[in-house]
Amino acid sequence: MMIEILLGVLAGVILGTISGIIPGVHANTLAGVLVGLQAVFLALLGPVALACTLFSALITHTFVDAIPSTFLGIPDADTALAVLPAHALCLEGNGEEAVRIAVLGSACAMVIAVPLSLVCFLLLPALQPWFDWWIGILLIAAVGWMLVTNDAPLWGLAIFLVSGILGIFALRYAFLGWHTLTGSNAILMPLLCGLFGISGLLTASRGTIPEQQFRGIRIPDRMVARSSVLGTAAGIAVGWLPGLSTASANGVLASVIGYDRDRRAYLLATNAANTANAFIGLAALFALERMRNGVIAALAELPLPSMGDLMVAGVLAACAAYLITVWLSRSAHRIGRLDNLLLNHVVIAFVVGLSILLTGPFGLLVLILATAVGFVPRLINLPAVYCMGSIMIPVMLWSFGIT
* Tens-place pLDDT, residues 220-245: 888 899 989 988 988 888 777 765 55
For 145, other C-beta atoms within 10 Å of its C-beta total 13
- Tell me which residue of 139, 165, 163 sits closest to 252, measured CA to CA: 139
Instruction: Name the pLDDT band for 211 (thresholds 50, 70, 90).
Output: confident
Longest dimension (CA), the chain: 59
Integer Cα distance of 9 and 3 in angstroms = 10
pLDDT recorded at residue 100: 93
Instruction: Give the model confidence (pLDDT) of 368-396 as tens digits.
Output: 999 999 889 888 878 777 887 887 788 78
Integer Cα distance of 335 and 337 in angstroms = 6
Mean pLDDT in residue range 12-39: 71
Q: What phi and psi, each to the nearest 5 degrees, are found at residue 333? A: -65, -20
For 138, other C-beta atoms within 10 Å of its C-beta total 18
Selection from 89-98, 242-251, 259-268, 392-401 with the highest mean pLDDT: 89-98
Q: Is 73 left (phi over 0), alpha (psi -120 to 50) or beta?
A: left
Instruction: Give the model confidence (pLDDT) of 138-161 as tens digits.
Output: 778 777 877 887 778 899 899 999
Sign of the alpha-carbon torsion through 331, 277, 392, 292 = positive
Q: Is the pLDDT of residue 133 over 80?
A: no
Q: Is the pLDDT of residue 31 over 70?
A: no
Contact 384, 84 (CB under 8 A): yes
Integer Cα distance of 397 and 140 in angstroms = 11
For 115, other C-beta atoms within 10 Å of its C-beta total 11
pLDDT recorded at residue 165: 94
Mean pLDDT in residue range 106-121: 92
pLDDT recorded at residue 26: 60
Integer Cα distance of 52 and 324 in angstroms = 19
What residue segments make up the domains of the chain, in order of their start? 2-399
Instruction: Give the model confidence (pLDDT) of 277-332 as tens digits.
Output: 889 989 988 988 776 666 776 787 778 889 999 999 999 999 999 999 999 988 76
Tell me the CA distances in angstroms from 40 to 44, 55, 297, one per residue in order. 6, 18, 19
Higher pLDDT, residue 235 or 253: 235
CA angle (185 as vertex; 249, 265 as ends), nearest 5: 25
Contact 59, 317 (CB under 8 A): yes
pLDDT recorded at residue 28: 61
Instruction: Give the model confidence (pLDDT) of 329-362 as tens digits.
Output: 887 666 655 666 677 777 788 888 878 887 889 9
Instruction: Name the pLDDT band for 39 (thresholds 50, 70, 90).
Output: low
Sign of the alpha-carbon torsion through 185, 73, 343, 373 = positive
pLDDT recorded at residue 339: 65
Integer Cα distance of 300 and 211 in angstroms = 46
Instruction: Name the pLDDT band for 108 (thresholds 50, 70, 90).
Output: very high
Helix axes 340-379, 153-172, angle to 10 degrees: 110
Share above pLDDT 70 across residues of the chain, in percent, rounded to a whole number: 79
Mean pLDDT in residue range 200-216: 70
When the pLDDT of each residue in the chain is averaged and rounded to a whole number, the result is 80
